Structure 1
């Protein structure tokens, strides 16, 4: 393998893995369709709290002194989720407390099994336990405030003489455990763990969720930046995305989806490689819009290709709006307010 290849070496070949959207554990219609970048892209301690509001629901993500849990820390959750889903598929009752060999997790997630690898795993569990998510939900006519960690606790059950952990015990939070029990999961390519850059992993996650089995998915760079939780300027973020797209065009290293950048529309394009099959997206079917709405859309976003904005809106939408025409016009107004004339 060339040293310039963007993928990490495949240290320990493995089988299927699963990931769930933690917020899918919320009552459907409230927060199940919400998305927020819970995990930090930074390789340095990220102590920025994050807040998101949608339909009178708010979610706040607060870091500990060690910083927010990172995209790479998510490996621990993916491993736990995969173990529970595998057991459930075999007819076993899922347990909120999971025990496993540390070496098994390190191998499964393509991590180093050196002393450094064990140290990084300890730090990951500390950040997962320290990151707190606070949200308000309305159920049964009452507003309920809830706060939880990504994991409730982690314990090293045994250590070797040189201090390396052997058996680890993790207790998942109720919220995360409920998401797993609902089995609202997606299968991940094992090549996911070979992606070096946190941004590559986040782009893959978004493509896996939004493109799924469709032939193609598009998203504007400013919207993508918000979904990724990047703290960079839009110009720097664009440079990072372009570098990933250029590498994927050269090496074809991104799993399941071909990643390209459309410079004329400042848009990321994810095209299915066919490895997860291609079928129409079934969860969100926004009906065709009234033809008269396009004239109003052109007034709301003068100079812009409203059909292109419509495609962006459909890709961005996470639920079918009650009034699609008004929702589309509102999106056009925000589009023009952020960008002005092309």
Structure 2
């Protein structure tokens, strides 16, 4: 058995377009806001699972769009692990590359919005008993980011500045640090799932949430590859602030529009209950691996090590 590579102090992202990976637990439960600027806490409890999500008074709850940065980081960390490396929870990246890989623009407004996402991820507090064995059974609140570093030009007393000074520097790196709860799910537990590259093209919060739920819940290898939920159950799991009646209307519209990559949904009646069936749509393009050019790791000595991959 070969020696395990020592964990380095800083993981520097230099990869181009790795296959996307996401955290399993956050796909199944309402850890993220589906609406922007939500300040009302999310509280969810079912079958022994409980979670509470709250925002700092200076911020709003981290959204499902903010989570794109976590998917970006998890995808690159996973590539490093599969290359035999032991990366750090501290991740350095070039914001221009991150924005491109997340399918976003690269203008000054986009840099500002990315900085705001990092603040919300840092200022959102999570309390949950999911995987509390990682913390010896103790209740330990955490945030989606333990720390971050961005150029001072993006830092203002107000957390939602209307502008910043000058044009963005596309080459200057930013840094984030993942909390143990997230990092352990990638490194130790391997609690991650592949995500379709078209996920980033979904614009609606409900669409994104339903895709992630389907990816977690619909079996890949069983036949039929489908799962059903009562409409009310979906409403509760989403954590949305929209009333059930309006939520159901949105789901019906989505069933007609059929926007989800690799999955479809249909709605049927079962007595007084409305059932939503999520299924793997074999007629849609499947998840295809995307090419990766290079990874570089910066360690204690400050040197970089490049890794070529097919």
Same fold (TM over 0.5): yes
In the alignment, what sits opposite 1:233? 243
Task: Tell me how far apart the structure 2 counterparts of residues 183 and 79 of structure 1 sit (CA, whole Å).
Answer: 16
Deviations 1:116-158 (A, max 9, x none): 1111101110100011112357759x75121110111111258
Moved over 6 A (4+): 158-161
Task: Tell me how far apart the structure 1 counterparts of residues 24 and 192 of structure 2 sit (CA, whole Å).
Answer: 7
In the alignment, what sits opposite 1:170? 176
Q: Is the counterpart of residue 267 in structure 1 residue 275 in structure 2?
A: yes
Find the structure with the greater CA-based Rg.
1
Q: TM-score, normalised by structure 2?
A: 0.73
Task: Tell me how far apart the structure 2 counterparts of residues 193 and 108 of structure 1 sit (CA, whole Å).
Answer: 9
Deviations 1:24-44 (A, max 9, x none): xxxxxxxxxx9420110102x
Q: CA RMSD in A?
A: 2.6
Deviations 1:206-231 (A, max 9, x none): 00000031421111111011111111
Task: Tell me how far apart the structure 1 counterparts of residues 226 and 73 of structure 2 sit (CA, whole Å).
Answer: 30
Q: Is the counterpart of residue 62 in structure 1 residue 68 in structure 2?
A: no
Alignment: residue pair count: 249
Task: Tell me how far apart the structure 1 counterparts of residues 76 and 123 of structure 2 sit (CA, whole Å).
Answer: 23
Q: TM-score, normalised by structure 1?
A: 0.67
In the alignment, what sits opposite 2:143? 149
Task: Tell me how far apart the structure 2 counterparts of residues 194 and 16 of structure 1 sit (CA, whole Å).
Answer: 15
1:93 to 86, 91, 97: 86
Task: Tell me how far apart the structure 1 counterparts of residues 264 and 117 of structure 2 sit (CA, whole Å).
Answer: 30
Task: Tell me how far apart the structure 2 counterparts of residues 50 and 100 of structure 1 sit (CA, whole Å).
Answer: 30
Whichever structure has more helix as a proportion of its residues is 1
Gaps of 5+ in 2: 1-15, 155-164, 288-310
Deviation of residue 53 (structure 1)?
3.5
Note closer, same or farther for the CA distance 1:108–1:20 as it changes in structure 2 (3 Å cut). Answer: same
Task: Tell me how far apart the structure 2 counterparts of residues 143 and 78 of structure 1 sit (CA, whole Å).
Answer: 27
The 8 Å contact of residues 44 and 239 in structure 2, kept in 1 or not, is answered as no
- Structure 1 counterpart SS, 2:32: coil
Gaps of 5+ in 1: 1-12, 24-33, 278-342
| Equivalent runs, 1:76-115 vs 2, <5 Å | 76-115=69-108
| Equivalent runs, 1:180-199 vs 2, <5 Å | 180-181=186-187, 182-199=189-206
Task: Tell me how far apart the structure 1 counterparts of residues 86 and 124 of structure 2 sit (CA, whole Å).
Answer: 28
